[in-house]
Structure 1
Amino acid sequence: MKIGFFGPAGTFTEEAASTLEGELVSYDTIPEVFEAVHVGDVSVGVVPIENSIEGSVGVTLDLLAHQYLLKIKGEIILPISHNLLINSDGELKDVKVVYSHYQPLSQCRMFLEKMGVRTQATRSTAEAAEMIKNKKNAAAIGTRRAASLYGLKIAAEDIQDHENNMTRFVVIGLHDHAPTGKDKTSVVLCLSKDRPGGLYDIMGEFASENINLTKIESRPSKEKLGSYIFFVDLEGHHNDLKIMNVINSIRSKVGYIKILGSYPQEGDD
């Protein structure tokens, strides 16, 4: 099985993808991973969808909602530990600039402010690690694997501002997962019209069937200012009778509803 992931090698997404069995194939962007799964170049793809500190990854949500008919068939929750990497013969005191993806730079803000350094955003943590290979006055925020791949040393460990830093990745494929008994379903919906209590009525349908909602998030619909769609994660599989009943009952109350997939639930959200 070929597994596409948002690369390059040495990123947290590669670490998440490596928990699956198969040949890993790196892609430069999240849309490229979706397209590779869509055309069959890879069997599944692994992309980030949510970080406990920075929130959701908008491009992943938008591609699922608007552009592809792919399904979420799995989730991988990974603890995120950021490390400061420097050249093998460099010294921490000489660092003047730190490179990394914008999210790690944000997640390590207090540490970087204490260092008194400039920051420079890159496309990925792995790209940052590769950039500093021959720079003694530069550092990168990256993974242990990136340090190993590019011959760097770890000058400081666990430099993130918050200890409970987790990233949720989703496994996307042409089909979702069969019921396991402990599942989660992701859907996206929009109201048929903006009216008082519209969202309340929809959420009430889930409550009436005692279906636990683990996430509700709004994003712009991309149609007009002030128009939103809602991403909802709920416990259970879309083939469960009570979930089928709720989805059928709310179809008349929404402009549209799209099941993004059902998959085994990992950990406690």
Structure 2
Amino acid sequence: MPTPSHIKTVGYLGPIGTYSNQAAIQWADKHPDVSIQACQSFFELFLMLSKQTVDAIIVPVENSIEGAVSNIMDLFINHANTYIIDELLCPVSHCLLAQSPASDIQLIMSHTQALSQCQQYLSKHYPNAQTHATISTSKAAELLANGKLTEYAPEHVGVIGSAQLSTHYGLSIVDQTINDVTPNITRFVIVSRHHATATGTDKTSMILFPRHNEPGTLATTLAHFASASINLTKVESRPARNKLGNYVFFIDFDGHNDDPIIQNILNKIGRENRYQWLGSYPKAD
């Protein structure tokens, strides 16, 4: 897609070497007028977008192994008037990094998603090692490289992350492609305060907030898409956080909001329940 004229700066979860950083670079390579800016957390990213400190942000929303990135889904709920304008699919290949290839690893640090995506490998090769979650894969590498550890000596600590981290932080690659399933793909989306124009090969994302917790509510909504022959690509629930047993539903489907057929479906849904439109945008290649 052409670079929207309003986008000059895109925020991502840093520091350098995270998979978000790689995704941001990949998107910026296609949009040379855009600069990228690292942030410390996903919460900060959405806050910067709402304060217009950056023009857009890039965040992971789904992984082919672990499914939805739940904290990102919750941030969408809490930040209305933010819209997905593009998406990209990024392959993820995890490595085990340490100070030296022969390190006696007793603690393994990384982002929760990376740790989860390598559970089988860790159980087989490091069954007695402890794990510790960090805010990003790069943060784990930074802590090890700088010796900012409390309970373990650096030579007993390993990190899961990309091969690029080994170069950036001067770490050794102990093992490569340690994710439990290959290929391992993460879907990233670019989020802005503006809408994307139709391209002819688009998809739309929305959140359904059922007004009543009763049989048939979700089925009625999905029937509107079926009757119009609109393909659903994702339906996923998240706790509504107001009462145990209440859920909201994230729905992705083919088509653009400018299409009269899509508008008709959304009008029907709006009369029955509340929904939050998350944007219509080009499908990833």
TM bracket, shorter-chain basis? over 0.9
Q: Which residue, out of 132, 141, 146, partners 1:129? A: 141
Rounded Cα–Cα distance in structure 1 between residues aligned with 2:215 and 2:124 = 48
Letter in structure 2 aligned against 1:258: Q
Q: Which residue of 2 aligns with 1:98?
A: 108
Q: Which residue of 1 aligns with 2:283?
A: 265
Q: Which residue of 2 aligns with 1:81?
A: 93
Whether 1:252 aligns to 2:264 is: no
**Aligned runs of 1:1-269 on 2, under 5 Å?**
1-21=8-28, 22-87=34-99, 90-92=100-102, 94-116=104-126, 117-133=129-145, 135-254=154-273, 256-267=274-285
Rounded Cα–Cα distance in structure 1 between residues aligned with 2:169 and 2:105 = 18
Rounded Cα–Cα distance in structure 2 between residues aligned with 1:125 and 1:14 = 11
Name whichever of 140-149 and 209-218 sits farther off: 140-149
Cα RMSD (Å) of the superposition? 1.4
Check conservation: 2:232, 2:252, Cα contact below 8 A. yes
- Per-residue deviation, 1:132: 2.0
Rounded Cα–Cα distance in structure 1 between residues aligned with 2:210 and 2:125 = 48
Rounded Cα–Cα distance in structure 2 between residues aligned with 1:262 and 1:178 = 8
4+ runs deviating over 4 angstroms: none
Structure 2 gap segments, 5+ residues each = 1-7, 29-33, 148-153
Letter in structure 2 aligned against 1:259: W
Letter in structure 1 aligned against 2:68: S
Check conservation: 1:44, 1:173, Cα contact below 8 A. yes
Letter in structure 2 aligned against 1:100: S
Q: Percent identity?
A: 38
